[in-house]
Structure 1
Amino acid sequence: MRLYITALNPTDAVLEGFLPAAASLGLPVTVLTDRPGEWPAGAPVTRCAVRDAAAVVAATAPDRPVALLSNSDHLQEVTAIAARKLGLPGKDPDAARLCKDKAAARRAIEAAGLDLVRSVTVDPGASPAVSGEMFPAVVKPREGVASEDAYLVTDHRELTARVAEIRGRRPDVALVVEEYLAGELRTYDTLGDGTALADLGGWRTHLGPPPTFTEESLDWSPPEEQVSSQLRARLDALGVGFGACHAEYVVQGGRVRLIEVNYRLIGDRMDLILAELLDVPLFEYVIRLHLGEPLAALDLPATVDRYARVEYVCADRTGRLAAAPGRLDTTHDGVRLSCRPLREVGRTAARTGTNRDYLAVLHAIGPDQDTVPASLAAFRRDLQWTIVE
């Protein structure tokens, strides 16, 4: 009776979320990964070719698995296939594939009559054939994650340059070029048991300057019911309905327009912050759904009477992080304040314009949207990060 988790590199979601949650549920757990040497000593990892469903199934042979899940964007489809072969509750492999393939997701939503976002796929080695009417546009990997290699381009010249730049790093990656969806970026998070779907809420996201799309801060802002209904319809079109899901979107003229769907929990420690804000054992809930429990068995709050703000401290240049605060937790005026380092002191890194530039994440949870930002600003003023070239 063992829980298996597929993963690549070590993440806070697994180390601080799923592993303690499994222990709380009394479940022995094994993390299957193709990078066991990158995980901290003592982590229950086993080497496995986790991009191969047959290898994942074979790796569970020593024990009788009671659940198999993944929080990795890259492993949702293969994990869903393996779970199905093992007869375990899991995500629909087709839905996992659609969410990962941004071009396919656009086609599915268009076929459902819900929205049309103009997009063009650019295969490896091919030149981008894009109409001038599509600009401004976004170019990004067709199966990319987060903001990595995603750029705003305003004309053919910029597009050609960005495609060449991306291919210089990743020559075999397929790209997608799609119309830029202007508007306030928001997020939407759900849990489902394959039949019912529950809203966990959402955030209003503030981005850094273009042409990259680095998330710099987020404010708690659950969607209104009319928006939530539109979002659910789009998730239905993709077949999303089991476990955790995270979507990003804008609203234009009252209409929801999806940016992308990640069939997992929200990332960059936001999952841990969300659990604290909702005051629920979120990671235990995800495991319980994969154990086959119904959504109705989970005690999810109908409303949240607290407010939260999250800020990422980003490197402003390439260099070595020479000094930084450590892990901090405090309370001021009824607001819980925290700092979590995301880069080790002494490490040298290039500035990329992505979440790889994050040095730390700060968050505040308190009674209202006036008190919380003010407390977080005061907290941040006393913290310093030093980068030397």
Structure 2
Amino acid sequence: MSGRLLLLVESNTTGTGRLFARRAAELGVVPVLLSADPARYPYAAEDGLRTVVVDTSDPDRLGEAATRLAAEAPIAGVLTSSEYYVPAAAALASRLRLPGPSADAVRACRDKAEQRRVLAAAGVGVPGFAVVSTADAAVSAAATRLPVVVKPVQGSGSLGVRLCSDPDEVAEHARALLAATTNERGVATPGRILVEEYLTGAEFSVEVFGTEAVVTVAKHVGPLPAFVEVGHDVPAALPADLERELRQTAVRAVAALGLGWGAAHVELRLDGPVAKVIEVNPRLAGGMIPELVRRACGIDLVRAQVLAALGRATHPERALYGRASIRFLTTDRDGILAPDLTEAVTRAGAVPGVVETVLYRAPGEPVGPAADFRGRLGHVIAVADHPAEAAEAADRGVAALTGAITPASLDRQEALT
């Protein structure tokens, strides 16, 4: 093999994982996906991406794989687009003396309990919280602040995050979380959970690169008790004082956690005029946010992250002043995707301003209410010159896309007749 290599330690299954590999190739390096199971990433085969099977949970096996690859061609950088493998990628980059975030800072940040403690000690606003390891302790911690949010200390995509309104709900959800010994990626989970104050203010994220806030994103969250993100608007339309509060809080949080290399995705809620950090993710945002930022602002965060891994300093600068919105297709009841999805996709794509319409599921596949990001069925992206226009187009597009879902009750009735 000729050419320098960019090692990608696992990936997210949708969204930016594919883009990381494509940007690497565009920048003249060869992407190589290191994965315990490359088949979980269909884009790898579709794009002809080179894959190496290795136990990515074992630092020594990762190091050995890197050594073998280095005998073929120089390794230029190490990255991941997956929340779960940021510590492994950071540790491997450090081991190879390549650019990357502090492995220790990333490990601490990935533990939301430790993250909460560090931020609170630094004076960065966070919700009230308690770290517990039993259902009884969860109930006790919730007693004075119901309703509360109960969630794992490690996780991604709202997995396991639930609003609990009474002690029985707290106990039931706490027991379910504590009974799990591994997450959906098969990675061992700590026997601790968070019980935290429920903030009712509007939710945002700030995309930070290095030590600077790049853009503020407005979030749309689906029906409680789950916290499924069903849409984003880029950039958020905000008064100057709230914009400043969100950006400054996000940057302070990143600094307090010892980050400051590459991308960080900081999620916040407003508590009156005060921004409080829900969590800091030491990685690029998911939910197609980087694509919205590219379309609205002309800033390619995926490319910037790849450049950072290659040791080529970059400062993302805004080149456009448009607006972009995404809305995710979800359903509030059991159903099935229509055998022919063409009509719904065509109607959604015909909405003025819609630039992308994607369904994640196959025709005829059963679907149901979303408990986390895995329940999202597709998305619509719209762009415009003004925030209201982009948001309205995305709303209309996803409404048209709902025609792809047939209620399960109707499907059963048709089968009976």
What TM-score, normalized by structure 1, do the two folds share?
0.89
In the alignment, structure 1 residue 183 sits paired with structure 2 residue 201: yes
In the alignment, structure 1 residue 51 sits paired with structure 2 residue 82: no
- Unaligned stretches of 5+ in structure 1? none
Identical aligned residues as a percent? 24
Which among 82, 94, 116 is matched to residue 106 of structure 1? Answer: 116
In the alignment, structure 1 residue 245 sits paired with structure 2 residue 247: no
- Unaligned stretches of 5+ in structure 2? 183-188, 237-241, 409-417
Cα separation, 1, equivalents of 2:81 and 2:223: 29
Deviations 1:115-135 (A, max 9, x none): 353322222687524152132
Deviations 1:11-62 (A, max 9, x none): 33122x1111111111111010111232332332111111222222221112
Cα separation, 1, equivalents of 2:364 and 2:391: 30
Distance change in 2, residues 1:100/1:327 (3 Å) = farther
Which among 2, 18, 21 is matched to residue 20 of structure 2? Answer: 18
Contact 1:189–1:247 under 8 Å retained in 2: yes
In the alignment, structure 1 residue 219 sits paired with structure 2 residue 233: yes
What TM-score, normalized by structure 2, do the two folds share?
0.83
Cα separation, 2, equivalents of 1:188 and 1:119: 22
**What one-letter code is carried by the residue in structure 2 that aligns with 1:309?**
S
Q: Which residue of 2 aligns with 1:355?
A: 373
Distance change in 2, residues 1:226/1:169 (3 Å) = closer
Q: Which residue of 2 aligns with 1:174?
A: 192
Which among 101, 123, 128 is matched to residue 133 of structure 2? Answer: 123
Q: How far has the Cα of 1:337 moved from its partner? A: 2.5
**What one-letter code is carried by the residue in structure 2 that aligns with 1:243?**
G
Which among 211, 220, 224 is matched to residue 206 of structure 1? Answer: 220
**What one-letter code is carried by the residue in structure 2 that aligns with 1:208?**
G
Cα separation, 1, equivalents of 2:323 and 2:33: 34
- Which has a greater percent of helix? 2
Contact 2:33–2:52 under 8 Å retained in 1: yes
Report the RMSD for the aligned CA atoms in angstroms: 2.5
Distance change in 2, residues 1:114/1:281 (3 Å) = closer
**What one-letter code is carried by the residue in structure 2 that aligns with 1:301?**
R
Q: How far has the Cα of 1:79 moved from its partner? A: 1.3
**What one-letter code is carried by the residue in structure 2 that aligns with 1:102?**
K
Cα separation, 2, equivalents of 1:162 and 1:352: 17
Distance change in 2, residues 1:345/1:258 (3 Å) = same
SS at match of 1:140: strand
Cα separation, 2, equivalents of 1:54 and 1:133: 46
Q: How far has the Cα of 1:349 moved from its partner? A: 4.6
Distance change in 2, residues 1:167/1:374 (3 Å) = same
The size of the alignment, in residue pairs, is 380
Cα separation, 2, equivalents of 1:133 and 1:198: 37
Deviations 1:288-310 (A, max 9, x none): 111112234x5x117x5211221
Cα separation, 1, equivalents of 2:87 and 2:136: 27
Q: Which residue of 1 aligns with 2:299?
A: 280
In the alignment, structure 1 residue 366 sits paired with structure 2 residue 394: no
Q: How far has the Cα of 1:107 moved from its partner? A: 0.4
Q: Which residue of 2 aligns with 1:39?
A: 41
Q: Which residue of 2 aligns with 1:77?
A: 87
Q: How far has the Cα of 1:260 moved from its partner? A: 0.9
